[in-house]
Amino acid sequence: MDIRNYSIHHIDLILPPYRLPFQSFYGNLFSMVSGIKGIIFDFDGTLFISSINFKIIRERIIKLANRMELKIPEKDMPVLELIENIRKLNRNRKEKDLFVEKAKEILEEEEMKAVETARPVSGAESVLKMLKENGIKIGIITRNCSKVVIPLLKKYNIPYDTVLTRDEVKKVKPHPSHIKEMIKKLSLKKEQVIVVGDHPFDIKAANSVGVKSIGVLSGGREWFGDVNPDFVFEDINGIKYLFGFESLKPGKIPNFLLSYLLKKYTIVSEDVLAGPGVGVDCAFFRERKGIIGVKTDPITLVGKDIGFYLVNINVNDLVVMGAIPKYLLTTLIFPEGIKFPEIEEIFSQINRECRKFNIKWIGGHTEISESVSQPVCCGTLLGIPVKKIKESKIKKGDSLILIKEVGIEAASIIVREKWDELKNFFSERFLKKVADSIYNPGISIYSEAIELWEKFNICGMHDPTEGGISAGIYELSERYNVGFLVYSEKIKIFPPLKRILKYFKISPYGVISSGCILAIAPFKEAIRIKEFFKNKNVICEIIGEVIDRDEGVKIVEKGKVKKFPFFETDEITKI
């Protein structure tokens, strides 16, 4: 087939935010923590959660300025900057110094009120103790005052080497001198420290000094895209993994670590149209005759039907990115003691599935190894773009769509692996039907994905695999730099899985879920999509909408809005 007439137009939506059309990372390729001897932490929102009401503080300060008949800046700004700007605007007024004194009293009064409810971020004490035990110096910089910070650190036994509040410096962050003074106090060089903070101010200050930085979301869903920290963690507990104080759990590498690794160690050039990124299901590159899509994925969670999974999982990843699968290479590693008929069965499964999708199996590698206890099979699948892909930029209010049901794959795996336990609670007929659910209703999304790309104005797609719909939605959030508001009653869970999970008591949102699609489309287009699949007897629901990135990923359950649950490892591993 001549692929020169094929094109793909949604690449600009696929590229992760840090990717430019041409990037090469041949700079400092040493480990992020190599040579690090100190960490500089922000206080409020990073180490401690407090309820300082800056809105009330601003209102009180502006009322004070009005009473004193002082000029007030029109632009909204942080409190310390507001006080300084009012002073500058009224530099010729004798009342300016009294205003500054009274305004700072208001600020300190409100800060002291917040002390009563302030508490350390979960894990703060243990993380900082680990750092100290490993010879890492700890500095704390803050725009808060000493009267608040020092007593709280002592009360909760938070270890540190030195603190610089606003009382000890002439200029506070985001001015670089705040960090520079701390580096000097720690007797370190800028190359030896990392700055950790929950506000773009912290990252901006670090960037201006040339220091590595970590943004944390514990103080609020601040958007760090404009300041580009080296990492974004959920909270400071991510530092334990970064420094190797704790081992990683089975499953996918956490997104914050994977994003860093991909950004630092992979290459994207002019001929790579879609490179690696969290939530990006396959890559696209341009060669002499056209564009090629490529995907690689291992199968590790299942033993039986592993050949079936190998082909279908890789096909799913290609088609949700808008490519038709064409060529397959495999790496098949078998454990010692395996019999030839078992190997042939896997070969037969792969061959059968390749024929179904008109895929040519063109090569690979096969071996028996003492390093594995069960077969580990990895596929690399190449394809060509779907013709005439339509696209739309993602915007606030766009719809999040779920095609087919969550948990089909998980239900089948659980039944196959826990048959002896489950037969005491469910009929053999029921269990057999669930075990075969990978075939009917099936985990393939080939036809649904191709129809979406060919017939509708789609912004993007993703197929939830390990980590389930939760991981899928969070990966879409990171991939497109948006937030989501999800409606729990709209999420369709595979009914047999609901029954099984009453016994195992794990969340359906966090189980491996090949066989469904998450798609983003404008609301009117989403209505068309829902009607289209309804007429084909395919389950399709609008389960949420796009919101601002800094709002994060939320779910509405029983009328209450809360953070969408996130699972460090696939829930199925708990069984």
Among 239, 149, 139, smallest CA distance to 179 is for: 139
pLDDT at 252: 73
Model's pTM, two decimal places?
A: 0.70
pLDDT at 16 over 50: no
What integer pLDDT is reported at residue 7 of this predicted model? Answer: 35
Classify residue 358 as left (phi > 0), alpha (psi -120 to 50) or beta: left
pLDDT at site 377:
94
Q: Is the pLDDT of residue 25 over 50?
A: no
If asked whether residues 554 and 470 sit together in one domain, one would say yes
pLDDT score of 219: 62
Q: Tell me what pLDDT residue 491 has.
A: 96
Q: Examine the pLDDT at 278 and tell me if it is beyond 80.
A: no
Report the candidate in 91, 81, 86 with the shortest Cα–Cα distance to residue 67: 86
Say whether 76 sits in a helix, a strand or coil: coil
Domain termination site, one of 115, 138, 168: 115
What is the total residue count of the chain?
575
Q: Which residue has the higher pLDDT, 465 or 404?
A: 404
Residue % of the chain over a pLDDT of 90: 59
pLDDT of residue 128: 95
Tell whether 513 and 525 lie within a shared domain: yes
Peptide bond into 385 cis (omega under 30): no
Answer whether 373's CB lies under 8 Å from 395's CB. Answer: no
At 417, give phi and psi (nearest 5°).
-85, -25
Question: Average pLDDT, whole number, for the chain?
Answer: 87
- Average pLDDT on 60-82 reads 89
Residue 278 within any structural domain of the chain: no
What is the pLDDT, as a whole number, of residue 194? 95
Whether residue 26 has pLDDT greater than 80? no
CATH number at residue 369: 3.30.1330.10
User: Do 481 and 558 lie in a common domain?
Assistant: yes
Domain identity same for 43 and 68: no
The answer to whether position 490 is within a domain reads: yes
Take residue 436 and report the two structure tokens written for it: 């075969």
How confident is the model at residue 392, as a pLDDT? 65
Which band of pLDDT confidence, cut at 50, 70 and 90, is reported for residue 22? very low
Instruction: Break the chain down into helix, strand, coil percent, rounded to 5.
Output: 40, 20, 40
Amino acid at 129: K
Would you state the torsion angle of the CA atoms of residues 514, 520, 521, 524, taken in this order, to the nearest 10 degrees?
80
Domain assignment present for residue 403? The answer is yes
Does any domain span residue 546? yes
Count up the domains in the chain and report the number. Answer: 4
Q: Is the pLDDT of residue 277 over 50?
A: yes
Q: Is the pLDDT of residue 4 over 60?
A: no
When mean pLDDT is compared across 22-31, 70-79, 286-295, 496-505, the lowest value belongs to 22-31
Q: What is the mean pLDDT of residues 75-95?
A: 88
pLDDT band of 19, cuts 50, 70, 90:
very low
Q: Does residue 124 belong to any structural domain of this protein?
A: yes
CATH of the domain at 156: 3.40.50.1000
**Quick one: 570 and 441 in the same domain?**
yes
**The pLDDT of residue 17 is above 90:** no
Instruction: State both tokens at 273.
Output: 């149209």
Average of per-residue pLDDT across 308-316:
94
| Arithmetic mean of pLDDT, 549-561 | 90
Whether the per-residue pLDDT at 521 is higher than 50: the answer is: yes
Q: Which of 216, 242, 268 is the last residue of a domain?
A: 242
In this predicted structure, the answer to whether residue 14 has a pLDDT above a threshold of 50 is no
Confidence at 13, pLDDT banded by 50, 70, 90 = very low
**Residues 368, 418 within the same domain:** no
On the question of pLDDT at 95 being above 70, the answer is yes
**562/485 Cα distance (integer angstroms):** 9
Distant-in-sequence contacts of 126-133, Cβ < 8 A, 24+ apart: 127/236, 127/237, 127/239, 127/240, 128/47, 128/158, 128/159, 128/160, 129/159, 130/240, 130/243, 130/245, 131/39, 131/239, 131/243, 132/159
Q: Are residues 528 and 415 in the same domain?
A: yes
- Per-residue pLDDT, averaged over 397-410, amounts to 96
Residues 347 and 406 in one domain: no
Confidence of residue 279 (pLDDT cuts 50, 70, 90): low
**CATH assignment at residue 439:** 3.90.650.10
Is residue 17 situated within a structural domain?
Answer: no
- Residues 109 and 171 placed together within one structural domain of the fold: no
Whether residues 232 and 298 fall in one domain: no
Do 411 and 550 belong to one domain? yes
| pLDDT score at 328 | 95
Q: Residue 85: which domain range?
A: 54-115
Position 3 scores a pLDDT of: 32
Give the span between the Cα atoms of 340 and 308, in whole angstroms. 18
Mean pLDDT of all residues in 193-205: 92
Can you read off the two tokens belonging to residue 269?
């050039």
Cβ atoms of residues 295 and 313 within 8 Å: no
Cβ atoms of 158 and 125 within 8 Å: the answer is yes
Distance between the two ends of the chain, CA-based, in angstroms?
A: 47
Give me 167's structure tokens.
């009382």
Q: Maximum CA pair distance of the chain?
A: 94
pLDDT computed for residue 221 by the predictor = 57
Question: Which of these three, 92, 115, 138, is where a domain ends?
Answer: 115
Rg of the Cα atoms in the chain: 27
Q: Residue 477 in contact with residue 430, Cβ under 8 Å?
A: no
Q: How high is the pLDDT of residue 282?
A: 67
Query: Residue 267 — very low, low, confident or very high, per pLDDT cuts 50/70/90?
Result: confident
Q: Where are the alpha helices (DSSP H) in 375-486?
A: 408-417, 419-422, 428-435, 446-455, 468-480
Predicted pLDDT of residue 217: 84
Contact 267, 253 (CB under 8 A): no
Upper half-sphere CA count for residue 422 (Cβ side, 13 Å):
27
Distance CA 568, CA 157 (A): 28
The two tokens of residue 161 are 């080497």
171 occurs within a structural domain: yes
Are 298 and 441 part of one and the same domain? no
For residue range 440-496, list pLDDT tens digits in order: 999 999 999 999 998 998 998 999 988 999 999 999 998 888 999 999 999 999 999
286 within some domain: no
DSSP assigned state of 19: -
User: Would you say residue 21 has pLDDT above 70?
Assistant: no
Kindly report, residue by residue over 204-250, the tens digit of the pLDDT.
999 999 999 999 887 665 667 778 888 888 889 989 888 888 888 77
pLDDT, residue 220, reads 62
Tokens of 413: 């795996």
Say which DSSP state 218 is in.
T
